[in-house]
Structure 1
Amino acid sequence: MRRTLSDVTAGVSARHTGAALIICLFSALCCVSGQSAPGQEDACPPPLWVQFHKNCYTLVSVTSKNSLSIEPARQLCKDIGADIISIGSKEENSFLVRTFKGQWKGPTEVLLGMFYDSDDNSLKWFDNSEVNFFNWGQVKLGDNDLNTCVKMNTQNGLWDVTDCDSATESAALCKYTSKENHTFDKKTVMITVIATFTVIALVLSIVVVFLHKKRNWSSGLHRAEVLPYRDDAILVDTMEREDYA
């Protein structure tokens, strides 16, 4: 059976369509594998964020008229995908002091994301980090300080207690862990790629089926042109020839 021009065009189109879809999928997978690993320098976008190990920090300033207490400060951090600051080591505390002096030039005091939990009489971080470091100045937490929050002097890094209801600040110090964010981003992109691959496979199947049916339909028309007579007409013609013989 001869192949018509439409058959050849359909085959070429199917191959080109499949190749293009495969290239798109390969490019998407390359984008996923090429994402920045947690802890790399570009994990925290400058200049708004600064990085220390796997954590990113930013100082969100407000006017003195709109000074923040502990809950509004924390909400401001959450609005940008972070949480109010927690400090887990002497090195991290020192890093923040250096950044305040060299880059942020911020207020002399900031609220830390620490509160007193009366259920077990202990201090805890709002972001559920482990409490394994303190940097108290001269004042330490008392046994009856049920409404206690903590603030840090940005010039010397020393901590002090303050009343949660009356404590205010002109800037919120926010923090997020880049590892958690990158893990989430990579997982989200991977899910998107899988969903895209599913759609691509479905579309490719529909295209192949359509082109296959189109080719069979074109082949049917070609056979109809070559064989203009019906089967019953051919049978009658054969019988007449036998009778004549």
Structure 2
Amino acid sequence: MESSTRYFTLFYTVLLILTFRYARGEDAFDCPADGRTWLPFQLNCYHFVHGVEDVAKSYTIQDAKEMCRGYDLLTVKSAEENDFIVRYSSSIWNDKMNVWLGMYYDSDEDVFKWHDDNSVLRYNNWEDGGYDDTDLPLMDTCVVLHSNTGKWENISCTDEPENGVVCQSKAVWIPPPKNSPLLSALVIISVVLILVVSAVIWFLQQRNNPGSSILNLIEYHPPFRSPSNDQTCLVEAEEIEEMP
């Protein structure tokens, strides 16, 4: 009984999540329509800059920023995102490439931060030795991602000026159409299924605990009635007889 209840509760919860996610349009996202080829991943979109016949083309950090004007340079904030870049780099570029990361060194706080939101790194994938294993002046330090390994490395922004470019953008949210027949049908079906599941759970509970029926919890109490005239006279007579 307990396992059945857990099963129906899980089904009920999943159904609610799916219904409200669709109702809010959480999965209705699209990439920018600017003529470039964008690849979606989670809530971001990525444009891998490449040359003719998929031959990687390198750019300076300034050129990279200019090419991604209006967007961000590659920002990697999770292991899943890092793996995504490695996986698609090999399918888009025929050779390994060092890719600029949209990162900068904040000398005031002595930390690296992302350009897109000035946030401190919470995920990193530095090569052995970490970010401080370098003799480069930190103010002239840029960071690249090795497309074949996914590891990050500090390099000089000026002495090693040319690397691959990946532009990044937030996916564009597309609101669901108003009065959508599909949405209305989904909501109705979900409500009906929720009621059915709730009824099944209640039935199973009552079958296994017959003494706990909701009907047994209701006690009948007759309404208060005033005594009849005959009963009143009888009471008064008894009281008179008892008087000395």
TM-score, normalised to structure 2, is 0.51
How far apart, in 1, do the equivalents of 2:93 and 2:27 lie? 22
Corresponding pairs, count: 144
**Greater share of helix:** 1
What secondary structure does 2:124 align onto? coil
Q: How far is the alpha carbon of 1:37 from its aligned partner?
A: 4.8
- 1:13-47 CA-partner distances (Å, limit 9, x unpaired): xxxxxxxxxxxxxxxxxxxxxxx956447446698
What secondary structure does 1:51 align onto? strand
What is residue 79 of structure 2 aligned with on the other side?
90
Q: Which of 119, 125, 135 is the aligned partner of 1:135?
A: 125
Q: Does 1:76 align with 2:67?
A: yes
Q: How far is the alpha carbon of 1:129 from its aligned partner?
A: 5.5
* Contact 2:78 2:123 (8 Å CA) reproduced: yes
Supply the RMSD in Å over aligned alpha carbons.
3.1
What is residue 108 of structure 2 aligned with on the other side?
119
Q: How far is the alpha carbon of 1:106 from its aligned partner?
A: 5.5
Which residues in structure 2 correspond to 1:148-187 (within 5 Å)? 148-178=141-171, 181-182=172-173
* Contact 1:86 1:129 (8 Å CA) reproduced: no
* Contact 2:36 2:47 (8 Å CA) reproduced: no
Amino acid at match of 1:145: L
Q: Describe the shift of the 1:158–1:60 C-alpha distance in structure 2 as closer, same or farther (beyond 3 A).
A: same
TM-score, normalised to structure 1, is 0.51
Q: How far is the alpha carbon of 1:60 from its aligned partner?
A: 1.5
Which residues in structure 2 correspond to 1:183-222 (within 5 Å)? none
Q: Describe the shift of the 1:76–1:37 C-alpha distance in structure 2 as closer, same or farther (beyond 3 A).
A: farther
Q: Does 1:61 align with 2:50?
A: yes
What secondary structure does 1:146 align onto? helix
How far apart, in 2, do the equivalents of 1:156 and 1:73 lie? 22
Q: Describe the shift of the 1:167–1:128 C-alpha distance in structure 2 as closer, same or farther (beyond 3 A).
A: farther
Which residues in structure 2 correspond to 1:36-47 (within 5 Å)? 37=25, 39-40=27-28, 42-43=30-31
